[in-house]
Structure formats: structure tokens, C-alpha cells
Amino acid sequence: MGSSVSPLATLGILSIGDMGVGIAKLLSAHQYRVITNAEGRSQSTKDRARNNSIDLVTTDVDLCNQADYILSIVPPRDALGTARRVIDASSNSSFAKRGNPLYFIDLNAISPRSAREINDLFSKSSPDVRLIDGGIIGGPPKRQEDGKWTRPSVVVSGPHRLVDAQPSGKHLAEVLSMKHVNDTIGSATGLKMCFASLSKGFTALAIESFTTAHNLGVTEQLKEHLEQFNPMAAKTAERGLVSMPPKAYRWVREMEEIAETFEADGGFEDDESIFRPIARVYELVANGTELGREVTEDRKRGKTAGDVATLMSEGTQRRKQKTE
């Protein structure tokens, strides 16, 4: 007598940027169906979804009706709005009755305070939707030549555990490399903020250091001394400066969320909070330099740390000329 195999879950992803597409590919490779609602988005976004085996639905209600789990992976500024979209859809009269509850897994780079606000919204307006607080540490999943996957760490917290969910929650948690931190909403997002502060905070320091060195004509000497006395910092600065420009516009809000985390949950006062000025550094990269152009162009322009420093210097000089 043959044994029946339970069907795998359907995953809704909002939205499908680099991380969303990477996770969609990982899920598809493990036989999960992935869907998204890209209505109102560009044709290139819709084509990106189709080209990566992501099925398109036309409304948020359809997304909520068809998905067992919804992953929210959007820029920090859109996290609250995305949660409200799902709340509105799950409160709609067309939202189908279901045997298993819908899970909303918030994986955005937001502060614990923002996570608690989103949790309060679900509790008041969509109590039947189960919220999991989370964050992604590391880059998008990628399939290596040997067929194995590199994947980020997905940290989660809150009273609901994916491993206990149906359908296929335990298997899904394994595929996503999910780690449950504790039962408190905000702990996972806080962990993400603490981790990101060290990596992206260092990159902001490197931006200012290398730009100033460029203006002084000592960039090569700075690199030589870093390689001699602090080779790890030299490697981290080079990698961070080159990979940062396409993401700088998203990091503006993320730095503000880190600042809020350190103030509200870390106990630091306003004049001790260093991440609001760091947000302005990334705002300058995104909106005040040639590095803030199209992503493909960014990657062509910023080939080395020295290239990034040169373009940053040009941006600060233009800004200075405008104010004189």
C-alpha cells in the first residue's frame, strides 16, 4: 500500500527584487510554487517574475487566497504599506475560508518598534493571519556549479513557529535556513539591525575615509597601509564600496531604522545616535552622485574603491558649488 505525500505549500512573495528573486529560485528548485502580485508594476518586473518561474496573480485577495505563506521582502519604507495590503486583502469579503491559517512572514530591514507596530495592526485588523517577525542576514540565495545552494540566514521570532505550520512548514523552514530566535516580536528584526549596523556602518566609514583620501591625493597610500596593518579592513572596505552603490537608496531608510532600534531598544540618546548621519551619507550616494544612477550603470562605474571615491568626490564638489 503506497503512502501519500502531502503537497508542498504555495508561497507568495512581495516583492521580487534581487533578494525576492533569489528566494523564489531557491523555493522553485525545491518544488514550491511561488506567486506574486505585480499589478501596477513595470513590464520588466512582470517579465522578471515570469522568467524566474513566479506565477502572477492580479489582486492581493488572489495572492492571499492562493498562498499558504506570504514573504514580505520590500525596501524598509514599504514594509508597513505591504503589511496593510495583506491586512486589507485578508479582511475582504472575497478572502476564502481556509483550513490552515495564512502566515505573513515579515523579512524586512525594520526596527523592533516597526515590527511591533505591524504586529499590533494584524492583531486588531486580521487576527486570523499569523505574523512571524523576521530578518535576512546575508546575500540572495545562489545555486553553485555543483548544484548546491548558498543561502542567507533567515532569523525569525514571535509566538508562531513555521516548523509547526501546515502545509510543509518544517520542510520550508529547512529550505529557507530559518532560525527561530525567541517568542518575542521584534527580536529577529533587532538582531538584523544589530548585524547590519556593523557591516553597513563600516561601509559608510569607508566612503568618507576613501573620499577624503582621494581629495588629499593619498588613496593609494591609504590602501597600502590598510593592507599592511589591517588587511581584513582593506578587503572589507574594497568589497563594501564596490557593492554598495546599487543598494544605497534602500539603505537610507534602513539606517534610520537602525537608529530607531538603538534609541528605543538600546537606550541611546539622540546625541549618541550615529546612524541618522550615516543615513545622510547613503542619501548623498543615491541622490547626489553619479553612483546613484541605474543599477547596471552603477556597477560599470564603481569597479574599485578608488572609482567610488572619485565619484563621491565629484558629487561633494558639485554640492559645494551649488551652495557658494
Task: Report the relative pairing of strands 130-137 and 153-157 from DSSP bridges.
Answer: antiparallel
- Using alpha carbons, list the distances in angstroms from residue 101 to 88, 148, 208, 306, 321: 16, 32, 48, 52, 58
The predicted model gives 195-212 an average pLDDT of 98
Burial class (CB in 10 A: 0-12, 13-18, 19+), 30: middle
Give the confidence band of 321 by pLDDT, cuts at 50, 70, 90.
confident
| Residue 159 dihedral angles phi and psi, to the nearest 5° | -70, -20
- Comparing CA positions, the residue from 141, 138, 137 lying closest to residue 191 is 137
Report the pLDDT value the prediction gives residue 41, as an integer from 0 to 100: 86
**pLDDT (tens digit per residue) in 186-198:** 999 999 999 999 9
* pLDDT value for 263: 97
pLDDT of 2 reads 43
| Other CB atoms within 10 Å distance of the CB of residue 318 | 12
pLDDT score for 322: 82
Confidence band (pLDDT; 50, 70, 90) for 320?
confident
Lowest mean pLDDT among 65-74, 196-205, 304-313: 304-313
Q: What would the DSSP string read from start to end of 49-65?
A: HHHTTEEEESSHHHHHH
pLDDT band at residue 298 under the 50/70/90 scheme:
very low
How high is the pLDDT of residue 42?
87
Grid cell listed for 14: 512581495
Is residue 297 predicted with pLDDT exceeding 50? no
Q: What are phi and psi of 157, to 5 degrees?
A: -155, 170
Res. 293 pLDDT band, cuts 50 70 90: low
Q: Is 143 helix (H, G, I), strand (E, B) or coil?
A: strand
Give the closest residue to 191 by CA, choosing from 103, 115, 278: 115
pLDDT by residue (tens digit) across 125-169? 999 999 999 999 999 999 999 999 999 999 999 999 999 999 999
% of the chain surpassing 70 pLDDT? 95
The grid coordinates of residue 119 equal: 504586529
| Cα dihedral 142→145→147→153 (10° resolution) | -30
* 110-131 per-position pLDDT tens digit: 999 999 999 999 999 999 999 9
| pLDDT the model gives residue 248 | 94
Q: Which neighbouring-strand residues pair with 156?
A: 134, 180
pLDDT at 6 (0 to 100): 60
Rounded-to-integer distance, Cα 31 and Cα 292, Å: 37
Domains within the chain, CATH numbers bracketed: 10-184 (3.40.50.720), 190-323 (1.10.1040.10)
What's the mean pLDDT when you consider all of the chain?
Answer: 93
pLDDT reading at 97 higher than 80: yes
Position 294 pLDDT exceeds 70: no
Label residue 272 by pLDDT band (50, 70, 90). very high
Taking the C-alpha atoms of residue 181 and residue 184, their distance in angstroms, rounded to an integer, is 8
In 193-293, which ranges are E strands?
A: none
Confidence band for 301, pLDDT divided at 50, 70 and 90:
low
∠ CA 66-68-72 to the nearest 5 degrees? Answer: 95
> Sorting pLDDT into bands at 50, 70 and 90, what band is 292?
confident
Confidence of residue 323 (pLDDT cuts 50, 70, 90): confident
CB atoms inside a 10 Å sphere around CB 320: 9
Cα-Cα end-to-end distance for the chain = 84
Distance, in Å, from the CA atom of 199 to the CA atom of 110, rounded to the nearest integer, reads: 16
